[in-house]
């Protein structure tokens, strides 16, 4: 029964309640009607039998003729028995074959019922008063069957009417519950606007009203949660603590419907006020939520709740979540401010150190170079080399501070790269290491900052010497056309993307030809001329084929290769990161990072390649033009 739908169970209950009294009444009435009809037939049969016996001749039993006439008149059957029970005459369809039990003891006759018939037995007496036989009359009981038919018909109509009423009542009761179920399904699906119409003020009406209040409360809390999440997303530590606190107060007032909100930051040892006032009906009350990060309390949030605001456990939990996130945002803002202050101090320190070191280094180098030129002293030459090395390190520190401050501005001029590479190698002073320079860019000049190029080349050569293990160092300077430039830029962008995120590199292709933009991570190569003026694929290929013959469409590519062990696997993704050094490097970890910053500031790209036969190849590209157009 419990598995049946509620409508079916309600229908069965109503039908049972409606039909049970009718059925009981019908059974009792049928029984009473049947009993009354049987008694009446028995009485009629006994009276008829007595009348017939009274009209018989003296001392004579009824013969066959009398029996037939009586059977016809009674509509039944007749049997005449001798005193010893022997049948003397019969008439009718189903006369009794034996004398009913107890007939001999009934002096005035008896009646009984059997098989839907009434049996009356009357003794026949002689003139002397002695019993000489018995007359048995059998009459059918027809009245009870007629009553049963009528009662059955009445019961059938009653049952049908009761079922119809039960179905109608059950449908009327189930319809609001079905509507409530559909509304709850919409509520579960996230439609908090669903409401139940309650036309009556009964239990179902109160249930619908309760649901509507629940839906309204959920909708309000959902809106509060939405506002809280938006407020938390807008809390930026970089904005500062005061703007963050102001934004949090404004967001909490709007999200929770408070009358006012105050965020108080606590210092160590400050006493927090009580968590909440004692609520007085009809008056506003104050709630205090601590701003905690673990065991550390950074402050508290004090809010005034309006008197009509319904405040429950769910609201308290949501406020606690907001308070925890606000505490984290405040602490992050404090840490951000401290970090920014330290970063500014560090940059100021680097600028001061660079300036204070550069001046004496310049004097040391000048005097040592004069001594070396006059006397040819090797020690003086070593002093010059180490002063140059130290000057470059100081320049790197100064460049790092400028990169962080975003103040790098190249002084562009045209420079020949191959001679600069040769001079940088000579300044390193590693004559014991074989060096091979191949210049495939004769007649081309780079458009770059001369001092910056010198720093980049020196950093790459110094890196090759450190990690080459004394093996030869090879440098190739080549020019690349538009297609080649795009490929080089793409590889540089891919290397940048390997450091995390999406790398975007651009290559200026000269006046009238726009630039090539490369986005690594999607391998999208879009020349600016094509992006601004879309052309067909054939036109793009034609432009690339003619690029090598056009001035200003090329870039110079410098590849510095060593034959050492190559870049370690754990360093491949962060080789250009600041302070990234190998296990046996012993360097500062600034050279490659500074080189990347300088190259990108000049509109080029830098990359690392891993040749199949070992070693590492660091390469950078710079915008170029022909020497005869410089």
- Comparing 453 with 131, the larger pLDDT belongs to 453
CB 209: neighbour CB atoms within 10 A? 14
Q: Length of the chain, please? A: 630
Tell me, yes or no, whether 520 and 414 share the same domain.
Answer: yes
Digit-coded pLDDT (tens) for 460-492: 998 898 888 889 999 999 988 654 444 444 444
- 357 phi/psi in degrees, rounded to 5: -85, -35
Mean pLDDT value of segment 108-117:
75
Does residue 106 share a domain with residue 235? no
Note the pLDDT of residue 355: 72
Mean pLDDT along residues 128-155: 73
- Last residue of a domain, which of 273, 300, 323? 323
Is residue 163, in this structure, part of any structural domain at all?
no
Q: Percent of the chain beyond pLDDT 90?
A: 10
How much is the average pLDDT of 586-615? 84
Q: pLDDT band for position 556 (50/70/90)?
A: very high
Please check whether residue 333 lies inside any domain of the structure.
Answer: no
Q: Is residue 210 in some structural domain?
A: no
Please provide residue 266's backbone torsions phi and psi, each rounded to the nearest 5 degrees. -105, 145
State yes or no: pLDDT of 151 exceeds 50: yes
Please determine, for residue 433, whether its predicted confidence score (pLDDT) is greater than 70. yes
What's the CATH number where 472 sits?
3.30.565.10
What value, to the nearest 5°, has the Cα angle with vertex 601 and ends 597 and 602?
120
User: Domain range for residue 222?
Assistant: 218-323
Average pLDDT estimate for 351-380: 76
Answer for the pair 94, 77: CB distance below 8 angstroms, yes or no. yes
Q: Within 13 Å and on the Cβ side, how many CA atoms surround 397?
A: 19
User: Which of 256, 249, 231, 255 is CA-nearest to residue 310?
Assistant: 256
Residue 172 lies inside a defined structural domain of this protein: no
Least confident stretch, 175-184, 194-203, 399-408: 194-203
Per-chain mean pLDDT for the chain: 74
- Ranges 70-79, 166-175, 318-327, 395-404, most confident: 318-327
- Look up residue 341 and give its two tokens: 């202050």
Ranked by mean pLDDT, which of 186-195, 285-294, 512-521 comes out on top?
A: 285-294
- Give the pLDDT score at 475: 95
Closest-CA residue to 624 (of 524, 531, 547, 539): 547
Q: What is the pLDDT of residue 481?
A: 67
Q: With residue 332 as reference, give the H or E element that holds it.
A: helix 313-375
- pLDDT over threshold 90, residue 543: no
**Looking at the domain assignment, is residue 363 inside a domain?**
no
At 16, which helix (H) or strand (E)?
A: helix 6-54
At residue 439, φ and ψ (nearest 5 deg) are -105, 100
Any domain includes 199: no
Least confident of 46-55, 352-361, 464-473, 498-507: 498-507
Task: Tell me: pLDDT of 534 over 50.
Answer: no
Using DSSP bridges, classify how beta strands 435-440 and 473-480 pair: parallel, antiparallel or unpaired.
Answer: parallel
- One domain for residues 30 and 122: yes
Residues 241 and 119 in one domain: no
Please say whether the beta carbons of 87 and 80 come within 8 A: yes
Spatial CA neighbour of 621 closest among 527, 508, 502, 504:
508
* CATH code, 57: 3.30.450.20
Alpha-carbon gap, residue 272 to 532, rounded angstroms: 63
Q: Between these two residues, 22 and 445, which has the higher pLDDT value?
A: 445
DSSP state of 284: -
**Residue 315 to residue 276: CA distance in whole angstroms:** 14
Q: Domain for residue 392, yes or no?
A: no
Domain count, the chain: 3
- Closest by Cα among 596, 566, 591, 571 to 582: 571
Assess whether 223 and 135 both reside in one domain. Answer: no
Helix residue ranges per DSSP H, 429-550: 450-468, 482-498, 528-532, 537-547
Asked which of 295, 323, 351 is the last residue of a domain, the reply is 323
Beta pairing, strands 131-140 & 285-293: unpaired
pLDDT of residue 444: 92
Q: What is the pLDDT of residue 542?
A: 39
Shared-domain flag, residues 314 and 414: no
Residue 259 above 70 pLDDT?
Answer: yes
Q: Identify whether 61 is part of a domain.
A: yes
**Same structural domain, 225 and 314:** yes
Q: Who wins on pLDDT, 48 or 512?
A: 48
123 beta partners: 134
**Buried-exposed string 406-443: b where 16+ CB fall within 10 A, e elsewhere:** eebebeeebbbbbebbbebbebbebeebebeeebebee
Cβ atoms of 215 and 194 closer than 8 Å: yes
Q: What does the pLDDT read at residue 549?
A: 37
* Same domain? 137 vs 223: no
Highest mean pLDDT among 64-68, 152-156, 217-221, 583-587: 64-68
- High-pLDDT (> 70) share of the chain, %: 73
Asked which of 97, 115, 149 is the last residue of a domain, the reply is 149
Q: Which one has a higher pLDDT value, 200 or 286? A: 286
Q: Are residues 494 and 586 in the same domain?
A: yes
- What value does the mean pLDDT take over residues 507-515? 39
**167-171, 313-317, 419-423: least confidently modelled range:** 167-171
Top pLDDT among 287 and 276 is at 287
Whether residue 461 sits in one domain with residue 588:
yes
Q: Across residues 305-325, what is the average pLDDT?
A: 86
CATH code, domain carrying 226:
3.30.450.40
């Amino acid at each position: 029964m419990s598995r049946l739908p509620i409508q079916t169970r309600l229908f069965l209950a109503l039908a049972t309640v409606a039909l049970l009294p009718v059925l009981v009444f019908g059974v009792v009435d049928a029984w009473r009607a049947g009993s009354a009809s049987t008694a009446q037939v028995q009485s009629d049969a006994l009276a008829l039998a007595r009348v017939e016996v009274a009209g018989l001749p003296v001392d004579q039993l009824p013969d066959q003729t009398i029996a037939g006439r009586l059977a016809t008149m009674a509509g039944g059957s007749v049997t005449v028995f001798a005193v010893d029970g022997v049948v003397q005459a019969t008439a009718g369809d189903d006369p009794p074959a034996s004398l009913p039990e107890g007939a001999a003891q009934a002096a005035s006759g008896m009646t009984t019922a059997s098989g839907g018939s009434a049996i009356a037995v009357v003794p026949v007496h002689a003139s002397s008063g002695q019993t000489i036989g018995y007359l048995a009359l059998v009459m059918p009981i027809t009245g009870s069957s007629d009553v049963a038919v009528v009662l059955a018909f009445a019961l059938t109509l009653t049952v049908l009417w009761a079922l119809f009423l039960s179905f109608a009542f059950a449908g009327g009761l189930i319809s609001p519950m079905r509507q409530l179920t559909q509304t709850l399904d919409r509520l579960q699906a996230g439609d908090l606007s669903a409401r139940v119409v309650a036309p009556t003020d009964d239990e179902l009406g109160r249930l619908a009203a309760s649901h509507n209040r629940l839906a309204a409360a959920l909708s309000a809390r959902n809106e509060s949660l939405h506002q809280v999440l938006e407020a938390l997303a807008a809390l930026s530590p970089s904005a500062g603590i005061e703007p963050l606190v102001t934004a949090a107060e404004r967001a909490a007032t709007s999200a929770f419907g408070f009358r006012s909100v105050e965020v108080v930051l606590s210092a160590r040892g400050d006493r927090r006020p009580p968590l909440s006032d004692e609520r007085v009906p009809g008056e506003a009350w104050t709630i205090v939520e601590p701003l905690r990060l673990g065991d550390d309390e950074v402050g508290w949030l004090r809010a005034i709740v309006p008197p009509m605001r319904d405040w429950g456990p769910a609201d308290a939990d949501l406020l606690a979540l907001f308070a925890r996130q606000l505490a984290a945002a405040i602490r992050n803002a404090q840490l951000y401010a401290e970090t920014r202050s330290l970063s500014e101090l560090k940059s100021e320190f680097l600028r001061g150190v660079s300036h204070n070191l550069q001046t004496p280094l310049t004097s040391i180098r000048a005097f040592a170079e004069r001594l070396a030129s006059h006397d040819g002293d090797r020690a003086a030459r070593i002093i010059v080399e180490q002063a140059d090395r130290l000057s470059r390190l100081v320049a790197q520190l100064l460049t790092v501070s400028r990169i962080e401050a975003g103040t790098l501005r190249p002084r562009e001029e045209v420079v020949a790269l191959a001679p600069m590479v040769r001079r940088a190698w000579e300044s390193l002073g590693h004559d014991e290491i074989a060096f091979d320079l191949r210049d495939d860019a004769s007649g081309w000049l780079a458009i770059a900052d001369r001092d910056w190029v010198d720093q980049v080349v020196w950093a790459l050569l110094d890196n090759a010497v450190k990690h080459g293990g004394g093996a030869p160092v090879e440098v190739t300077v080549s020019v690349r056309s538009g297609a080649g430039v795009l490929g080089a830029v793409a590889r540089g962008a891919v290397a940048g993307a390997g450091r995390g995120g999406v790398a975007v590199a651009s290559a200026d292709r000269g006046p009238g030809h726009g630039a090539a933009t490369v986005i690594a991570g999607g391998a999208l190569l879009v020349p600016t001329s094509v992006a601004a003026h879309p052309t067909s694929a054939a036109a793009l290929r034609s432009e690339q084929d003619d690029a090598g013959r056009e001035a200003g469409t090329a870039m110079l590519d410098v590849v510095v290769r060593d034959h050492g062990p190559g870049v370690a696997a754990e360093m491949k993704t962060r080789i250009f990161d600041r302070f990234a050094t190998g296990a046996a490097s012993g360097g500062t970890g600034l050279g490659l990072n500074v080189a990347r910053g300088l190259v990108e500031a000049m509109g080029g790209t830098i990359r690392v390649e891993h040749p199949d036969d070992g070693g590492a190849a660091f390469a950078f590209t710079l915008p170029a033009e022909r020497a005869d157009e410089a």
